Structure 1
Amino acid sequence: MDPEANRETLLAEKCGIFAAIANGDWPTSLDVAQIICLGLVGLQHRGQEAAGIVTCKFGNIPFSAHRNMGLVSQIFNDQIIKALTGNLGIGHTRYSTMGGSENVQLAQPFVVHTSYGTIAVAHNGELVNSQRLRQTILENGVGLSTGSDSELITQCLSLKPPKINKRKDENENIEKNVEEANESNFTLIEKNLQRDEEEILSRVLHFMSLTPLSYSLILMYEECIYAVRDPFGNRPLCIGTLVPPPHEGGPRSSQEKLAIEGWVVSSESCSFPSVCAKIWRDVEPGEIVKLARNKLPKTLAIVHRKEDKMPATCIFEYVYFARPDSLIEGQMVYTVRRKCGQQLAIEAPVQGKDPKIEYIVAPVPESSIPAALGFSQQSGIPYVEVFCKNRYVGRTFIQPSTRLRRLGVAKKFGPLSHNFQGKSVILIDDSIVRGTTIGQLIRLLKDSGAVEVHIRIASPPLHYPCYMGINIPTKEELIANQYNARQLAQYLGAASLVHLSVEGLLKSVQSGIRDKSQNKAIGHCTACLTGCYPVPLDF
């Protein structure tokens, strides 16, 4: 890819992870691989470069796996799905930043054979101390074949944890052993651990003691699924119940409503409806949850942050990355984005409006629609759509020439000129990274008859890169570090430009959580906005 083309790359999420395990008799009648495939389709927005599924029939039978480059729909067909037989499985859809992109070796889930059995691992996030962790693994005599931090996780889980003594009796206390090794600050919830639980839990706790964030993990081991979230809760992860689908002739019976056909785990709850699943709850920060056949999810342990640290859920999940129909921390992402628009209207009304000109509020489709509706509702200015989005145009940075690349936005957005000719447009967008797209949209509107264009951004300006699972460019490439708001408006050709404040964003995100959870610790990572990272960076 040429350097000029690379400048067009926008924000990108790292990955999406999904798992399913069937209840009832095994072999199951549920098509587990199909469920996982549909779950990954629901998470496709989180990664479009590669995908994979690994399934398990029984513990003594080798895993079935298929991974490849491309979209989920391009990788899996009926023949491949039928070959992925199993009663449980995990899946992954990938967007890369670490280790490279065009390499099927990096497609997850990873499968690794260890001294205590075979495990499969799917990871969403990015380890902030990956370089130090890589050195630790190499010093233990373990070779690494990729630059992926997800491979570091699998190798950490393969290592024998320090000072774990031989099992003395059925209920040996792993908590005592690990605390003696001074590995981590955690609470053991399940006191009477089975042998397989002790094997995997000791290694997960050891891994979590080596790196603070960012990771949400799904592990498959010994006919069970394990869901793990870092102590800061940086990446989302939730559990759902598989329920019987409704009859064609009517609603479910009361008995069917209570039936649980299995369990699913996903980066986002938006993937649940397509597989007939209902959200159960979020995996809490630092929680290690076991999902087994015909049993309720069981919390094995909770790893704690230091006392002075708050949770650090990525705030850009709400702003941009998560699908609007997802539930995160008990609230719908769409509702939060609408609140951001309402708060933006309070903080940044258009000043000195000309009474002779009609004003309209319009979104940059599609992620900015809720914020634009909120701005319109709060300000009383009519909401009007000004662009028709062509969903079948690829990314602008793959165009073969500079001229065609500059036409990328015009190819993707068609102006609905009769809706705004002779009017002043208040254009709402969720974020500005490099300013390329919004600048072209402003020109497109003005060339098509808009009197003027006011820009309102439903998030604060991006000033810092993210090292915890989001592909945000370097500080030098971020346009907010090159211009202040007035200069940027002039540079882009806008009549005015205002961002939502950091305080306004936090208020929009956290007010709904406080309404539902009075005693819950609430915290969000705003490092890309403020430069205040949850932990010191290890490079």
Structure 2
Amino acid sequence: MDEMKDACGVFGCVAGGNWPSQLDVAQIIHLGLIGLQHRGQESAGIVTTDGESGKFRQKRGMGLVGSVFSEDDLLRLKGNLGIGHTRYSTQGVSDLVNIQPFTVETIHGLISVAHNGELVNAPALKKKLLLHGVGLSTTSDSELITQLLTHTPACGEPNGVNWVGRIQKLMTEALTAYSLVILHQDRIYAVRDPFGNRPLCIGKLVPAVAFTSNHTITDQDIDGWVVSSESCAFHAIGARYHREVLPGEIVELSKDGIRSCYIAERPEAKKSAFCIFEYVYFARPDSTFENQMVYTVRQRCGKQLALEAPVEADLISTVPESATPAAMAYAKHLQIPYMEVLSKNRYVGRTFIQPSIRLRQLGVAKKFGPLTENFRGKRIVLVDDSIVRGNTMGNIVRLLKSFGASEVHIRVASPPIKFPCYMGINIPTKEELIANQMPIEQIGWYFGADSLQYLSIEGLQKAVEEGIKDDKEQGHCIACLSGDYPVVPDW
């Protein structure tokens, strides 16, 4: 994978039982965001409240989760419930003003919102707010959502505000793409857009003895509830996966438990459109979507790739490390040994210091070290999860051949990416995507590889849908592969 950026991560926690609770909500949210760090590395924020006073405590900052929050910060973020966010920018520049969660004051008290996704009709929604005299202080879609929620009148409850009604109204105006956690007073609302494009799931907080054993969980065992972009964030906090938030569903989380408030209908009886690239690349392999583990789906992609694009070789390897499950399954099916050929330097990060021309020319050598004894004089099949701009693969092929590989064949465990994403993933423009710059058969030659083949769209869909049983309404967004968008973007 090269040059495709992750989506954002959202997280929320509600303590259960009688308040005040002994549950350290801020610490739980902090660990949850660390579990979602792969979804965004630019900024992070946490907002907490005690659920009674109406006061919010918050800390937001630029950088990784571990560097934004100190121990003192977490001690100050007292509360029985709260939400958090880790961000990679899609709409809105990387700046302090765009850090989430967004908190605004309304006539009914403070509300805080964290958002993963991108609104396909953001320009029209922004114009609507501006025409109604609502000022915007950022360029983020997330502020648009927050202001739309507070601007929309939806009464009917004794206190004069119906937040479920406001969220329903938002869903009619913005069909996709968003997963939201909304904090107000003593409850959190977890929301997915009607197409379910971005992921969101719910977990139960249980005592350590129950989490680490086969102990049957009862209602008395539940210490609280959490909601997260991915279930991988549950492991470090002692939470058990409960279920996904359904496409178009509003789930209310409070100290009394969870309840489903509403499920929106999709227009024209369309299927849901969960982003298929969550399986291919974005999600952590230990996360669960649609009742199947991401790692298992990636293995099926590798097996399907072996069926569609076999090759004679001495060993199978991968570009570390998201393609490893696919590469191992590819090797197993073809009965060719799997062996690592590259050692990844995990301490190479972004830098604002531009290296000299000589160091730039070294390219991937600063990021990967060749394991030369594993491949010298051998034919290698290098499996990758996807290729976007194609800036990296050519350098890797040249590196391997310069250190003695006799042949390098590239196999990609997903189809060619030909179209940009308008729903929360920062895929480059159509012109920047290498699959649009030259015919597929020339891309391998461009990289200096002996051959190159991709998994077909049908093969990817088969690998994903094999683990989904008896759900005729379930579908997946493959817009970046086919150009068929579930909702036409309003750009």
Query: Which string of whole-angstrom CA distances, capped at 9 and with x for unpartnered residues, describes residues 335-382 of structure 1?
Result: 0001000000000011xx4xxxx6111011110100001101111111
Tell me the equivalent position of 1:191. Answer: none
Question: Rg larger in 1 or in 2?
Answer: 1
CA gap of 1:139–1:80, structure 2 versus 1, over 3 A, is: same
- CA drift of 1:251 comes to 4.6
CA gap of 1:403–1:72, structure 2 versus 1, over 3 A, is: same
Structure 2 residue runs of 5 or longer lacking an equivalent are none
Query: Which string of whole-angstrom CA distances, capped at 9 and with x for unpartnered residues, describes residues 429-451 of structure 1?
Result: 00111111111110111011100
- CA drift of 1:396 comes to 7.7
Tell me the equivalent position of 2:343. Answer: 388
Tell me the equivalent position of 2:371. Answer: 416
Relative to structure 2, which stretch is displaced further, 498-507 or 110-119? 110-119
Tell me the equivalent position of 2:206. Answer: 243
Q: Distance in 2 between matches of 1:335 and 1:346?
A: 17
Q: Secondary structure at the match of 1:272?
A: helix
Out of 5, 30, 41, the residue aligned to residue 12 of structure 1 is 5
Q: Distance in 2 between matches of 1:253 and 1:497?
A: 49
Tell me the equivalent position of 1:342. Answer: 303
- CA drift of 1:246 comes to 2.9
Tell me the equivalent position of 1:461. Answer: 416
CA gap of 1:485–1:91, structure 2 versus 1, over 3 A, is: same
Out of 211, 216, 229, the residue aligned to residue 267 of structure 1 is 229
Alignment partner of 1:317 is 2:288: no
Q: Secondary structure at the match of 2:366?
A: helix
Residues 87 and 100 in structure 2, CA contact (< 8 A), matched pair in contact too: yes
Tell me the equivalent position of 1:171. Answer: none
- CA drift of 1:229 comes to 0.2
Alignment partner of 1:452 is 2:434: no
The one-letter code matched in structure 1 to 2:232 is C
CA gap of 1:309–1:406, structure 2 versus 1, over 3 A, is: farther
Residues 396 and 409 in structure 1, CA contact (< 8 A), matched pair in contact too: no
Alignment partner of 1:140 is 2:154: no
Alignment partner of 1:326 is 2:287: yes
CA gap of 1:369–1:229, structure 2 versus 1, over 3 A, is: same
Alignment partner of 1:221 is 2:184: yes
CA gap of 1:420–1:84, structure 2 versus 1, over 3 A, is: same
The one-letter code matched in structure 2 to 1:243 is V
Q: Distance in 2 between matches of 1:402 and 1:427?
A: 28
Q: Secondary structure at the match of 2:251?
A: strand
- CA drift of 1:306 comes to 1.4
Out of 14, 28, 36, the residue aligned to residue 43 of structure 1 is 36
Q: Distance in 2 between matches of 1:447 and 1:272?
A: 44
Residues 246 and 252 in structure 1, CA contact (< 8 A), matched pair in contact too: no
CA gap of 1:323–1:398, structure 2 versus 1, over 3 A, is: farther
The one-letter code matched in structure 1 to 2:131 is E
Q: Distance in 2 between matches of 1:534 and 1:422?
A: 48
Q: Distance in 2 between matches of 1:267 and 1:472?
A: 20
How do 1:344-359 and structure 2 match up within 5 A? Answer: 344-350=305-311, 353=312, 359=314
Q: Distance in 2 between matches of 1:398 and 1:132?
A: 40
Q: Distance in 2 between matches of 1:57 and 1:272?
A: 22
Query: Which string of whole-angstrom CA distances, capped at 9 and with x for unpartnered residues, describes residues 92-112 of structure 1?
Result: 0000121101x1111100111
Query: Which string of whole-angstrom CA distances, capped at 9 and with x for unpartnered residues, describes residues 292-335 of structure 1?
Result: 1032x111111110134111100000000000000011100000
Alignment partner of 1:534 is 2:486: yes
- CA drift of 1:238 comes to 0.1
Residues 243 and 256 in structure 1, CA contact (< 8 A), matched pair in contact too: no
How do 1:397-416 and structure 2 match up within 5 A? Answer: 399-416=354-371
The one-letter code matched in structure 2 to 1:146 is T
Q: Distance in 2 between matches of 1:288 and 1:406?
A: 51
Q: Distance in 2 between matches of 1:78 and 1:119?
A: 25
Residues 117 and 198 in structure 2, CA contact (< 8 A), matched pair in contact too: yes
How do 1:369-384 and structure 2 match up within 5 A? Answer: 369-384=324-339
Aligned residues with identical type, % of pairs: 56
Q: Distance in 2 between matches of 1:227 and 1:96?
A: 21
Structure 1 residue runs of 5 or longer lacking an equivalent are 1-7, 168-193
How do 1:381-530 and structure 2 match up within 5 A? Answer: 381-395=336-350, 399-514=354-469, 518-530=470-482
CA gap of 1:413–1:301, structure 2 versus 1, over 3 A, is: same
Residues 2 and 390 in structure 2, CA contact (< 8 A), matched pair in contact too: no
TM-score normalised by structure 2 residue count = 0.96
Q: Distance in 2 between matches of 1:299 and 1:69?
A: 34
CA gap of 1:359–1:63, structure 2 versus 1, over 3 A, is: same
CA gap of 1:395–1:196, structure 2 versus 1, over 3 A, is: farther
Alignment partner of 1:75 is 2:38: no
Q: Secondary structure at the match of 1:513?
A: coil
- CA drift of 1:61 comes to 3.6
Q: Distance in 2 between matches of 1:396 and 1:487?
A: 33
Residues 336 and 509 in structure 1, CA contact (< 8 A), matched pair in contact too: yes
Query: Which string of whole-angstrom CA distances, capped at 9 and with x for unpartnered residues, describes residues 478-497 of structure 1?
Result: 00001222211111100000
How do 1:186-205 and structure 2 match up within 5 A? Answer: 195=158, 199-205=162-168
Q: Distance in 1 between matches of 2:238 and 2:159?
A: 30
CA gap of 1:128–1:403, structure 2 versus 1, over 3 A, is: farther
- CA drift of 1:406 comes to 3.7
Matched length: 491
Q: Distance in 1 between matches of 2:250 and 2:88?
A: 25
Q: Distance in 2 between matches of 1:100 and 1:401?
A: 28
Residues 57 and 85 in structure 1, CA contact (< 8 A), matched pair in contact too: yes
Tell me the equivalent position of 1:212. Answer: 175
Q: Secondary structure at the match of 1:476?
A: helix
Q: Distance in 2 between matches of 1:255 and 1:461?
A: 45
The one-letter code matched in structure 1 to 2:374 is N
Query: Which string of whole-angstrom CA distances, capped at 9 and with x for unpartnered residues, describes residues 372-399 of structure 1?
Result: 0110111111111111111110148964
Tell me the equivalent position of 1:84. Answer: 77
Out of 321, 327, 337, the residue aligned to residue 366 of structure 1 is 321
Query: Which string of whole-angstrom CA distances, capped at 9 and with x for unpartnered residues, describes residues 16-68 of structure 1?
Result: 00000001221211110000000000000000000000001133241000000
The one-letter code matched in structure 1 to 2:345 is N
Relative to structure 2, which stretch is displaced further, 60-69 or 387-396? 387-396
- CA drift of 1:412 comes to 1.1
Tell me the equivalent position of 1:231. Answer: 194
CA gap of 1:104–1:346, structure 2 versus 1, over 3 A, is: same
Q: Secondary structure at the match of 1:285?
A: coil
The one-letter code matched in structure 1 to 2:234 is F
Residues 397 and 405 in structure 1, CA contact (< 8 A), matched pair in contact too: no
Q: Distance in 2 between matches of 1:499 and 1:452?
A: 18
Q: Distance in 2 between matches of 1:449 and 1:257?
A: 61
- CA drift of 1:212 comes to 0.8
Q: Which stretches of structure 1, 4 residues or more, deviate above 6 A after TM superposition?
A: none
